[in-house]
Amino acid sequence: MPSLMRIQILWRGYARLIITGILPLVLLSLILCSCGGTGAADSMVRVSAGDVTATGIIVDKGGYVVTGAQAVGGANSVSVELKPGTSIVGRVICVDSARGIAIIKMEGSYPALKPVALGDSDLVHLWDEVTATGYFPGDSKAVTLKGAVTAVNKTEGINYLQTNAALDPGLAGSAIISKAGEMIGMVSWNSGLAGREGYALASNEIRTVLSQAQEAEANPLAIVTVDPPAIYGDHVIIAWKTGRPATGQVEYGPLATYGNKTTPELTLLESHSAVVQNLQPKTAYHFRVRSVDCCGIEAISQDYEITTTAASAQGVKFAISNIDVYDIASSAATVHWITNKPATSLVDYGEDKSGLTDTESDKTLVYEHKVRLDGLRPDTRYNVSIKSVTDSDETEQQALAPFNTPPASPVCCKINCRIPDFTFKTLQGGDFTNRDILGKKVFIVFAKTSCSTCMQQAIFLNDIYANWPKGTDMIMFMVASSEKQADVQEWIKKYGLSVPVYIDPTANLVSGCQFRTIPTALLLDTGSVIRDYKSGGFGSKKDMEATVKQFYETQR
């Protein structure tokens, strides 16, 4: 509609408002509504697989659509409705079950698309205003719900945004849009709590899966090579390579129907190895290897037949093979190798110029060895030597090629950033700094003695701290900001706290991080990188304890 005609209609419809002086405000509101938009309206589609219908969002002009994994089920193709009466076939090219996201590629010809702009979820701040836009199943019109970001969380290594918008389960796959009109998340699930607070997969996670899906489409996963097995009397070592990172598992049995499987290696790798144990000597076995990439695409090798030898490994020279260093982060790395006899695991390592000054060891006798090195320095070259010893004192040792850790995460107060340097005061007047937490997993609760919710969080934390197994690499403490030492000591005495409490007398960290709510909790990995963030406190001790335990178990 031409602008002049629109103004004339508005004038006739709201002429009486001139007398009240409200017309300028009405016109301004209408103009803002017509010019603003959600940033996703032109990018929304409906995705249907059987009787299931959900929202999808076009994220690439090449015809790529993102939606929730539950929307596609196990289907290989779906129907994508661009507008009422216009549907085309969409091919499911990636289902990332861990992230709960599916990537669909539209087939054939279709009109010019308007993909949504994917924002940078690492730049999201607490209380940023957002809108959730999508279709409820069965509804013909989209809904738009307003809210704000209430937390930025990391669950099992995956980034999510939490929002107080009313994200009912039917909106899974819908877009979370920032004030700038960019998609910063995809609705994942509802918390089930009062207020229907919901969670959205962060846009940078979406961007990662989209890139992986496009790579998977261009280069399907394949088993590149399967090495000749190393055969012994009661076990076989099998190694293979895939064209890109994937999981690994061996199926085996006396017949080509197999019936047995090794424990799956869930780390995505290109070089794979597994030890098939407890076999009968001088017996024929069939085996095949299978790997699954991040998109759920599976590759399976041909069938192989082997016959175990009469001799056990005891009559064979002790040897180390299948050596690898992977999962290299700025502060950690995993060293892996296989021995042909059960043996201990030991890794000596050190910075390139200082020699081998540190040791990690495990006396358990195993065939497959994995040792995680924590507390490494970012952007540093490391020398490594591995060693294994059998129960009969046979020893093998081997120096590995040096590896480099990547640079440290940027310093800021967001997820995946390294926490800024700090100096807190102990109740005895000493200093407690960021250097005291290096190489440790950390749970911090920032509180004030005048805050009733903080008192509740302190009691929760104190109980968890008191019952936490001693000798682990997890530390917990509270930080009281802008507090007098006497007030903190009285608070500790009043509630019988044994968990360490430090004082940030000038509240430098709290103010620098712009915490909008106290209490606020942070979970840091062994490199002091923020991996989870909880604003406003936990609803119960059970919730706090579950969060801490899950973090401890998933952060290596």
* Boundary of a domain, candidates 134, 166, 201: 201
Do residues 74 and 56 lie in contact, with contact meaning Cβ atoms separated by under 8 Å? no
Is residue 467 in a domain?
Answer: yes
At 102, is the pLDDT very low, low, confident or very high (cuts 50, 70, 90)?
very high
With a CB cutoff of 8 Å and minimum separation 6, the contacts of 550 are 155, 156
Do residues 56 and 87 lie in contact, with contact meaning Cβ atoms separated by under 8 Å? no
**Same domain (yes/no): 469, 349:** no
* Boundary of a domain, candidates 374, 404, 434: 404
Mean pLDDT (the chain) is 85
**Same domain (yes/no): 196, 233:** no
At 312, is the pLDDT very low, low, confident or very high (cuts 50, 70, 90)?
low
HSE of 186 in the Cβ direction (CA atoms, 13 Å)? 30
Structural domains in the chain (count): 4
Digit-coded pLDDT (tens) for 173-217: 999 999 999 999 999 876 555 446 688 999 999 999 998 899 888
When mean pLDDT is compared across 25-39, 49-63, 112-126, 410-424, the lowest value belongs to 25-39
CA distance 245 to 268: 5
Mean pLDDT of 129-142: 86
Is residue 229 in a domain?
Answer: yes
**Same domain (yes/no): 526, 429:** yes
Token pair, residue 406, equals: 């990547």
**Same domain (yes/no): 364, 288:** yes
Q: Does residue 59 carry a pLDDT above 90?
A: yes
In this structure, what CATH number is given to the domain that contains residue 337?
A: 2.60.40.10
**Same domain (yes/no): 459, 378:** no
**Same domain (yes/no): 197, 245:** no
Is residue 216 in a domain?
Answer: no
When mean pLDDT is compared across 5-14, 83-92, 284-293, the lowest value belongs to 5-14
335 against 507, higher pLDDT: 335
In this structure, what CATH number is given to the domain that contains residue 174?
A: 2.40.10.10
Digit-coded pLDDT (tens) for 228-258: 999 988 899 999 999 988 999 999 999 999 9
Please report the pLDDT score of residue 21 as a whole number: 40
**Same domain (yes/no): 518, 446:** yes
At 539, is the pLDDT very low, low, confident or very high (cuts 50, 70, 90)?
confident
* Boundary of a domain, candidates 404, 436, 462: 404
Residue 360 domain boundaries = 223-404
Digit-coded pLDDT (tens) for 459-503: 999 999 999 998 888 999 999 987 889 999 999 999 999 999 999
Is residue 116 in a domain?
Answer: no
In this structure, what CATH number is given to the domain that contains residue 449?
A: 3.40.30.10
Do residues 343 and 362 lie in contact, with contact meaning Cβ atoms separated by under 8 Å? no
**Same domain (yes/no): 394, 472:** no
**Same domain (yes/no): 162, 286:** no
Question: Taken in order 544, 550, 551, 552, is the CA torsion positive or negative?
Answer: positive
Please report the pLDDT score of residue 523 as a whole number: 92
Is residue 213 in a domain?
Answer: no
CA distance 475 to 442: 5
CA distance 261 to 239: 15
At 280, is the pLDDT very low, low, confident or very high (cuts 50, 70, 90)?
very high
Q: Does residue 18 carry a pLDDT above 50?
A: no
Is residue 549 in a domain?
Answer: yes
